[in-house]
Amino acid sequence: MTALTFGRASVPVKYLPVLVTGCLFVAMFVAGGIRYEGFASGQVVLNVFIDNAFLLVVAVGMTFVILTGGIDLSVGSVVALSTMIAASLMEGPGWPPYVVVPLVLLIGSGLGLVMGWIIQSFDIQPFIVTLAGMFLARGLCYTIGTDSIPIRDATFTAFAQTRIDLFADLWVSPSVVIALVVVAVAAYVLHYTRFGRSVYATGGNEQSALLMGLPVARTKITVYTVSGFCSALGGVLLSFYMLSGYGLHAVGMELDAIAAVVIGGTLLTGGTGFLLGTVLGVLVLGLIQTIISFEGTLNSWWTKIFIGLLLFVFILLQRPFSGRSRR
């Protein structure tokens, strides 16, 4: 069965996980609006984007990796390393941001490229290689410094504190615009380019992709490079958000990114998923945090509990789709 019928409407099965995530987000927003005064406003949704722009960018990179059937556990550490490099280079009368930011992006991409090359060339499980990358990047943070390094560069702080006014007193930060541009570019690449088709084919069935003559090796190396780039860019956006570099930034962010991708409907086995689902997954995670802050009586650790429960549910929901995609 390739579609489910609801009355006269027919929904292709491949869109069903994204539809479920979208309905969950709407249900949570409506429930929050009913329970909490001031919750049902456009700025609440925009604040979720503002507070999670860096996670959205990291999750985009993770989506590329998971679509090929891989995993990248290094993203949180690369985010932290990016903040430390940026903050240390701009400390005092240091380097200008227009030199530091491209350098940070280059370093992140290079780390991803090396991990992807090792995974492909030596046929090692991505879990092991990226776990080593996670420890390496986090360790490099502490070779730079053990304390938080504030960012006081005038150009950097001015950009970080800029508000982009929309309408009716609604506003976003520049980081949100950057994150949405990344999503748009990534969606175009995945759905309208040969590389994107190779990503889906590699995750769907690697042997079949090889038999079709697709560049599987190059594709797998490239997705880890993309993930490294997105992690570094996420680190830059986190630097805008925190105005500091710290070795303990983004602890556990790799798990948040994986959770957002899975809740967004991308199969952990690869081959099926959409970036729109990842965006909705990040929004769901952010809305959970917002509801808990509005509640006021719950500890922030309840966020992790609710995310864990959601993950269990969505992983169970993935079982029939995973089986169908392998037939």
pLDDT for 9: 58
Give tens-digit pLDDT for 170-184.
Answer: 999 999 999 999 999
pLDDT for 3: 57
3-state secondary structure the chain: CCEEEECCEEEEHHHHHHHHHHHHHHHHHHHHHHHCCCCCCHHHHHHHHHHHHHHHHHHHHHHHHHHCCCCCCCHHHHHHHHHHHHHHHHCCCCCCHHHHHHHHHHHHHHHHHHHHHHHHHCCCCHHHHHHHHHHHHHHHHHHHCCCCEECCCHHHHHHHCCCEECCCCCEECHHHHHHHHHHHHHHHHHHHCHHHHHHHHHHHCHHHHHHCCCCHHHHHHHHHHHHHHHHHHHHHHHHHHHCEECCCCCCCHHHHHHHHHHHCCCCCCCCCCCHHHHHHHHHHHHHHHHHHHHHCCCCCCHHHHHHHHHHHHHHHHHHHHHHHHCC
Instruction: Tell which wins on pLDDT, 302 or 90.
Output: 90
pLDDT at residue 98 tops 80: yes
pLDDT for 37: 87
Give tens-digit pLDDT for 198-246.
Answer: 999 999 999 999 999 999 999 999 999 999 999 999 999 999 999 999 9
pTM of the model: 0.93
Section 138-164 average pLDDT: 94
pLDDT at residue 73 tops 50: yes
Give tens-digit pLDDT for 4-58.
Answer: 555 555 667 777 888 889 999 999 999 999 998 888 888 999 999 999 999 999 9
Q: Per-residue confidence at 303, pLDDT binned at 50, 70, 90?
A: confident
pLDDT for 132: 97
